[in-house]
Amino acid sequence: MGRHEDEDDDHAAEEEQGEERPASTVSTESLLAASVDVEEEGAHGGTQSSHRLLAYSDALLSIIATVMILPVAHTKMEDEKELDENLQLLLGTKMAVYLMTFLIVTVAWAAHIRLFQVIVRIDDTLALLNLACMMLITLLPYTFSLMATFPSHILGILLFCGCVMVIGVIQSVIVLYAFGRPFLLQDQIRASEDHSVYKRHILKVLLRVPLMCLLAGLCSFFCYQLSYVLLALVIFLPYISRGVLWCRDKLLGPVEEDPEQVMLYSFLPSEPLSKERVEAFSDGVYAIVATLLILDICEDNVPEPASLQQRFNNSLVAALGSYGPEYLAYLGSFATVGLLWFAHHSLFLQVSRATRVMGLLNTLSLAFVGGLPLAFRLTHELPRAALRDERRAVQASCVLVFGAGVFQLATWVAALQGGGRQTLRPAVRYGGPEHIFMLAKLALYPAVALAAFLLTCVLSRFSVTIFHLMEIATPLAFLLLRLMVRVALALLRRLFCPQRRQPENGEENITSRVQFNPLII
């Protein structure tokens, strides 16, 4: 079986290399120019690999994207206040703005990925320009707070759009600087005869988002609602632009595009992204969300010395015991975040190449994960209010967990397109020995969240305590999942294939398992 998987991997690698091979050959003059660039690089000195800069940028971007939930999670809720319509509207508005800005930050992160797939080495000037870009990105949570608190005031919109436009200008300066020093560029562009073609194409793609934000800023003076619509369109701008090009080709006829240019810097849904950077950004979001949970405990669940003396007769054990529901909420929320990361890790362990569509679906999953601190705050503050509000808090939590889980599942489904030969390892493709198990693992959390949501509608006494106990018990389901899947497959084989020969002398009947999986799906 291992030999067949190796052959599949080799075959997939050959296909991948065939697709990525440049359409035109590199001339002798281009190679000579590349060697001159290498000599120029040695003459200048001071260049280094971009790996550490990219790791720093990914960490910072994941933090900025995630902390945008704090203005939502820290919406003031009085102890005895019900989740009335005004509070629901406020939370709904803030969550909508949070999701939009989270996705816009990830658009900037995706642009950063593509930019540094073109620029593979940096010098001090490039590092400082990137640092200036990161400084402006750190201002985005403040502009978001203004937009979320005062959605009808244009100042927050103008500040947000202004930051994005300046970020676009700095990234354009990075492109111009790098093309002025070709030894910083990746080999294929460096060996090209005409760098200006690549430079114009990259700048044209890079400046689309700043121009859209400029239009949104201008529209805010007349209709702020239209500004929010335009900012939301930024998220789907690559797919809109591809749709416009498709309509143009249908009406006016196809226009030839340079295959090398499209391969290097495009908005194609199948465009490859750096799998390592997708994993690093995702790990950052999960780690920060888990950290935000304990920060709330440290802030809200440490008794005041005066209160300890007056209410608990100076007994710290009794005082901490009063925070039991909060500790239970923390354990349940952390278990949910940790296991969602575990499912994400298991998925990308089997991904051989990430595409733009997979990146978008993964980003949507991370956006819901980023909202889990709000779910934690709702479920440990609202139990002091009415039981009806407990159920509403649980329902909001279920929606967030369901969204995080279902978009993970959708990422895997997108990877399976075309049989998954270019994106997945053989074990989890259709017919692979781990295909069913991966499906069950990724479908577990959406199923649990949906079941909990339905229980809140049926059981009038369903409380947050029951919900958190379900969260804490879910890891046991992950531990038993492989056993349950194997038992279910064995029962189905016995029902549908009763005459199949059983393996002898400990021999593993891999062939039957591989052939049987498509029947189940």
Residues 423-477 pLDDT 10s: 888 888 887 888 888 888 888 889 888 988 888 888 777 777 888 888 888 888 7
Cα(180)–Cα(72) distance, integer angstroms: 44
Which pLDDT band holds residue 2 (cuts at 50, 70, 90)?
A: very low
Distance CA 494, CA 490 (A): 6
Work out whether strand 48-49 and strand 121-122 pair parallel, antiparallel, or are unpaired: antiparallel
For residue 431, give both structure tokens.
Answer: 């017919």
Return the pLDDT at 506: 47
- Note whether 188 and 318 are same-domain residues: no
Q: Assess whether pLDDT exceeds 50 at residue 514.
A: no
Do 318 and 185 belong to one domain?
no
Determine the structural domain holding residue 81 and report its residue range.
44-268
Cα separation of 179 and 174, whole Å? 9
Give the burial class of 298: count Cβ atoms within 10 A of its Cβ; 0-12 exposed, 13-18 middle, 19 or more buried: exposed
- Average the pLDDT over each of 15-24, 190-199, 341-350 and give the range with the smallest value: 15-24
Q: What is the mean pLDDT of residues 118-142?
A: 88
**Residue 380 included in any domain:** yes
Q: Do 280 and 357 share a structural domain? A: yes
Domain count, the chain: 2
The residue-averaged pLDDT of 213-238 equals: 85
Is there a domain that residue 36 lies in? no
* Domain-embedded: residue 21: no
Q: What is the length of the chain?
A: 521
What would the pLDDT profile of 324-338 be if each residue is shown by its tens digit? Answer: 778 888 888 888 998
249 and 314, same structural domain? no
- Alpha-helical (H) ranges within 265-386 are 275-300, 305-312, 316-321, 324-349, 356-370, 372-381
Confidence of residue 300 (pLDDT cuts 50, 70, 90): confident
Indicate whether 302 and 230 sit together in one domain: no
In this structure, are 253 and 338 located in the same domain?
Answer: no
Count the neighbouring beta carbons within 10 Å of the beta carbon of residue 384: 14
Q: Quick check: 101 and 160 in contact, CB under 8 A?
A: yes
pLDDT at 377: 78
Predicted TM-score of the model (pTM): 0.74
**What confidence score (pLDDT) does residue 176 get?**
92
Percent of the chain with pLDDT over 90: 9
Residue 3 lies in a domain: no
Of 88 and 58, more confident = 58
Question: With the CA atoms of 109, 114, 118 and 121 taken in that order, what torsion angle do they form, in degrees rounded to the nearest 10?
Answer: 30
pLDDT tens sequence across 390-416: 777 788 888 899 999 999 999 998 888
pLDDT at 243 over 60: yes
Model confidence at 267, pLDDT cuts 50, 70, 90, reads low
Residue, of 293 and 91, whose pLDDT is higher: 293
| Highest mean pLDDT out of 94-108, 355-369, 503-517 | 355-369
With a cut of 70, say whether residue 31 has pLDDT above it: no
Q: Are 105 and 64 in contact (CB under 8 A)?
A: yes
Which residue among 236, 253, 268 closes a domain?
268
Q: Is the dihedral of CA 197, 203, 204, 205 positive or negative?
A: positive
Q: How crowded is the C-beta side of 122, counted as CA atoms within 13 Å?
A: 18
**More confident of the two residues 35 and 46:** 46
DSSP state, residue 500: S
Could you tell me if 249 and 292 lie in one domain? Answer: no
Q: Which of 232, 247, 268 is the last residue of a domain?
A: 268
Determine the pLDDT at residue 242. Answer: 73
User: Is the CB of residue 442 less than 8 Å from the CB of residue 402?
Assistant: no
Our measurement of the distance from residue 319's CA atom to the centroid of its chain's CA atoms, rounded to an integer in Å, reads 39
Q: Is residue 22 part of a domain?
A: no
Residue 35 lies inside a defined structural domain of this protein = no
DSSP-assigned states of every residue in 66-118: HHTTHHHHT----TT----HHHHHHHHHHHHHHHHHHHHHHHHHHHHHHHHHH
User: Could you say which of 222, 239, 268 is where a domain stops?
Assistant: 268
* Helix (H) or strand (E) run with residue 122 in it: strand 121-122
Pair 456, 354: CB distance under 8 Å: no
Provide the H-helix boundaries in 119-192.
124-138, 140-149, 154-180, 187-190
Clarify whether residues 350 and 310 are in a common domain.
yes
Q: Are residues 427 and 329 in the same domain?
A: yes
Tokens describing residue 392: 């509403």
Clarify whether residues 385 and 516 are in a common domain. Answer: yes
Q: What is the mean pLDDT of the chain?
A: 76
Are the C-beta atoms of 444 and 452 separated by less than 8 Å? no
pLDDT digits (tens, 9 = 90+) for 470-490: 888 888 877 777 677 677 777
Give SS3 for 497.
Answer: coil
Is the model's pLDDT at 40 over the cut of 60? no
Among candidate residues 441, 427, 429, the one with its CA nearest the CA of residue 483 = 441
Read off the DSSP letter of residue 313: T
| Unique residue bearing structure tokens 């992160």 | 109
400 and 461 belong to one structural domain = yes
Report in angstroms the alpha-carbon separations of 42 from 16, 39, 177, 191.
33, 5, 18, 17
The kind and range of the H/E element at 203 are helix 195-206
Output 4 or 298, whichever has higher pLDDT. Answer: 298
Q: Do the domain assignments include residue 5?
A: no
In tens, the pLDDT along 69-127 reads 777 777 665 544 555 555 566 667 777 778 877 887 888 888 888 888 888 888 888 99
Q: Which residue pairs from 430-436 have beta carbons closer than 8 angstroms and sit at least 24 positions apart in sequence?
A: 430/517, 430/518, 430/521, 431/514, 431/515, 431/517, 431/518, 432/514, 432/517, 433/1, 433/510, 433/513, 433/514, 433/517, 434/350, 435/517, 435/521, 436/485, 436/489, 436/517, 436/520, 436/521
Same domain assignment for residues 439 and 473: yes
* Distance in angstroms (rounded) separating the CA atoms of residues 30 and 36: 10
The reply to whether 39 falls in a domain is no
For 353, residues 6+ apart whose C-beta sits below 8 A from its C-beta are: 16, 272, 275, 422, 423
The answer on pLDDT for 138 being more than 80 is: yes
Residue 476 and residue 469: Cα distance in Å, rounded? 12
Q: How far apart are CA 234 and CA 213, in angstroms?
A: 8
Lowest model confidence (mean pLDDT) among 282-286, 339-343, 384-388:
384-388
- 3-state secondary structure labels for all residues of 357-397: HHHHHHHHHHHHHHCHHHHHHHHHHHHHCCHHHHHHHHHHH
